[in-house]
Structure 1
Amino acid sequence: MQWTEGAEQRSARWYAQNGTPPPRRVVPADSRMGVAAAYRHVCEGTALLWRGDYQSARRLLTSLGRRAEGRGRSAPQAGAQAGSPGEAFHLQRREQARRTRILGLLLIPYENGWTVALRGAPEVSEACTHAYGPPAQGPGAGSLRELLGLVGAYEWHRKGVEIPALGPGGRIHPHYGVFSPVRGEYVDLVAEAPLPASAATAFDLGTGTGVLAAVLARRGVRRVVATDLDPRAVACARDNAGRLGLSERIDVQEADLYPQGRADLVVCNPPWLPARPRTALDRAVYDPESRMLRGFLDGAADHLLPGGEAWLVLSDLGERLGLRGRTELVDLIAAAGLRVLGRLDTAPRHPRATDRSDPLHEARSGEVTSLWRLGVEAPSGR
């Protein structure tokens, strides 16, 4: 990142976990710049490299957030103006992207490793190392909003998330950039579904934190192969297996969906919405063109042992938003040579399901998360 300060040309290493490129225009700023001027700068795409104290930067970020919220259409208005739940979904995503872009342009400087070079700044070296890795030499800069997010994520990692399905004291410690299992309904479905008659081996595809692999191992599956394409998730799942004393029963591999071989049970909780992700964390929520869903279904028959089952854990929010056709899922199941053995359903327990100000409230309030028990369709005889 390069900018001019006084008459001097300066540069700093740019840090952005979400893949945002360094801003092209940067101006130094401190408390002498009013909120209105600061908001005008960031709306025009000019980043503010903060030179005041840390608490003033946080106050400015809050003020910018209020302005961004006020300038954008309110949630009820967005929902009212959208002609369909799908349009409301796309309007909401565009508004979220606009807000993220604007608020990401308030920058803080780093020096001497992960030291925030502002008066009154907290110690953030452990959180930054967890997210970015060891610091490079020389000055750096990054978004204050991202820093606050990764500090919060580090607290989740340090304390862990309690998972009742893992038994007393069972906790999962998400790594930065790996989706945290804060919505427990899908975990409970895997904990409650009846296991196949023979369940000595299982595959957990797209394991993330490894929470479902751990639940299966705790339920008595002797060997679980957990896969993920993201190296961060692979490291996270291995870490959690070790913390839970399950390393000998859970083999975590970096792979795109299926590992080698066959299993009695294959479990997949793919991203629930067929849309394009914008950030690394988005990939846990958005599955463009249902790539992972289709790959799981299409490969199940070739990776199940005789009498085995494939468990698909999926919300119907995509159907309710019009992002997936009403019969598309059952059509994909049939096209993959699979049949439905049973289905377990649960209602959402997250706060958004009861938030009437959310433009997607109607869809969210009726959302159902299901565990589909699938078997291989027997070939038809003559």
Structure 2
Amino acid sequence: MTTDPTVPVIHWTDGDLELSARWRSEAGAAPPRRVVLADDRMTADAAYRQASEGVALLWRGDFQNARQLMQAMARRIDRKKHKSPASPLDAFNAHRQAQAQRARTLGMVLIPLDADYSIPLRRAPDVKQACAEVYGEGDAGGASSVVSLRELQGLVGAHEWRKKGIEIAALGARIHPYYGVFSPVRGEYIELVARAPLPSRSLAFDIGTGTGVLAAVLAKRGVERIVATDADARALACARENVARLDLTEQVQVCEADLFPPGRAPLVVCNPPWLPARPSSPIERAVYDPDSRMLRGFLDGLAAHLEPGGEGWLILSDFAEHLGLRSREALQAMIDAAGLKVIGRDDIRPVHPKAADPSDPLYRARAAEVTSLWRLGAK
């Protein structure tokens, strides 16, 4: 076990032995206080009951049986009936609460990892590369750890996305997202950037670049130089790799910055998180923007970073408006208070499956959603 006091540790007993290991949680969850050993003899009902009470189950049986157990627990959660919400905002709050509770309960099934990220269980898959991409290289002589099976599945899924990539029509190529970096699976916002009239092809800033997809689209459109910024180390590494894969390093410079790089540009692009609510984990920061911090920061700093006659492109869904989280009037007031004017706007409807799924708890808001590219200029 690690002796570093900054590293979280999980404790449990096995007979008369007091044991511990490093606790891993990319979601920032604290180590469970109550941990019991579990194996193939545990029923789904018993597992669901204990997990609902906050008791974590450290698995000692067959790995595939642990997967099946968690799936059975998920079915029990999903069978619960929920009250009909009175408003879209009530629906959103109830949905987030239910999702958080679901994540907590399913997160109680725990899997041991050896120091090299091998899983010491029967029929366990090889997850070494997926873990190394997120946790760093394993050390055969180091300490073992424990992770929730749900997080481990997320790591493996992200590894597959990173390996095969996502086809981007505007690029005629693939973008390879990292774990924890917003994946460009919703193509409508990319299409908006691919078709908007360019005010200049000399220089552009891409604020909060993530995977680097918008910077790459601008480069493919002939913008000679793009400075792409992000404050997240994982996003910066992801963007740099994608830029290199696409052979765009001569055009695109990826640099660390909280919003803007120094200087001014004739085009500044930003696709901030769309929902002004608090993320429940670091991974949700690409979707949730507490108090519209990034949106306000972009708008408030835009005029000072635009060349005369330049344009700022704000790519923003109105999903928050349909949920009652932010009004159109509030957005327009932010634009006005920042000394900006609206030059034009291009809208597009979403095509993702949830927008056409009446069983989705947020269907009404999703079906009405429009994503817009706001072309902004200094007053």
Q: Shorter-chain-normalised TM-score: which range?
A: over 0.9
Identity %: 61
Q: Deviations over 1:211-266 (max 9, x none)?
A: 00000011111110011110100111001000000011111111100010000100
SS at match of 2:18: strand
Aligned residues: 368
Q: How does 1:218-367 map to 2 (within 5 A)?
A: 218-367=220-369
Superimposed CA distance per residue, residues 12-59 of structure 1 (whole angstroms, 9 cap, x where no aligned partner)? 111111111111111000111211211111111110000111111111
Aligned to 1:380: none
How far residue 326 of structure 1 moved from its aligned partner, in angstroms, is: 2.8
In structure 2, runs of 5+ residues without a counterpart are 1-9
Q: Partners of 1:209 and 1:10 in 2: how far apart?
A: 40
Amino acid at match of 2:52: C
Match of 1:200 among 199, 202, 206: 202
* Residues 1:26 and 2:48 aligned together: no
Q: Which runs of 4+ in 1 moved over 4 A?
A: none
Q: How does 1:95-174 map to 2 (within 5 A)?
A: 95-135=98-138, 137-167=142-172, 170-174=173-177
Tell me the secondary structure at the aligned position of residue 193 of structure 2: helix
Matched residues in 1 for 2:115 and 2:147: separation?
Answer: 15
Aligned to 1:54: 63
Matched, 1:215 2:224: no
Q: Which residue of 1 aligns with 2:7?
A: none
Residue 182 of structure 2, aligned match among 179, 196, 202: 179
How many angstroms apart in 2 are the aligned matches of 1:140 and 1:36? 27
1:138: Cα distance to partner?
A: 2.2
Using the TM superposition, give the Cα deviation of residue 281 of structure 1 relative to its aligned residue in structure 2, in angstroms.
2.1
**In the alignment, what sits opposite 2:4?**
none
Query: Equivalents in 1 of 2:114, 2:293: separation in Å?
Result: 42
Within 2, Cα distance between the matches of 1:112 and 1:44? 30
Give the stretch that moved more between structures: 278-287 or 91-100.
278-287
Residues of 2 paired with 1:112 and 1:260: CA distance? Answer: 43
Q: CA–CA distance in 2 between the matches of 1:326 and 1:203? A: 26
The superposition leaves residues 79-117 of structure 1 with CA deviations (integer Å, 9 ceiling, x where unpaired) of x2x111011000000000000000001001111411011
DSSP-derived class of the 1:278 partner: coil
Cα distance in structure 1, aligned partners of 2:174 and 2:193 = 16
Amino acid at match of 1:203: F
Match of 1:84 among 84, 87, 91: 87
Which one-letter code corresponds to 2:160 in the other structure? E
In 1, are the aligned partners of 2:115 and 2:145 still within 8 Å (CA)?
A: no
Distance across 2 between alignment mates of 1:138 and 1:311: 48
How far off is 1:357 after superposition?
0.8
Task: Give how far 1:135 is off.
Answer: 2.6
CA distance in 2, matches of 1:178, 1:326: 28
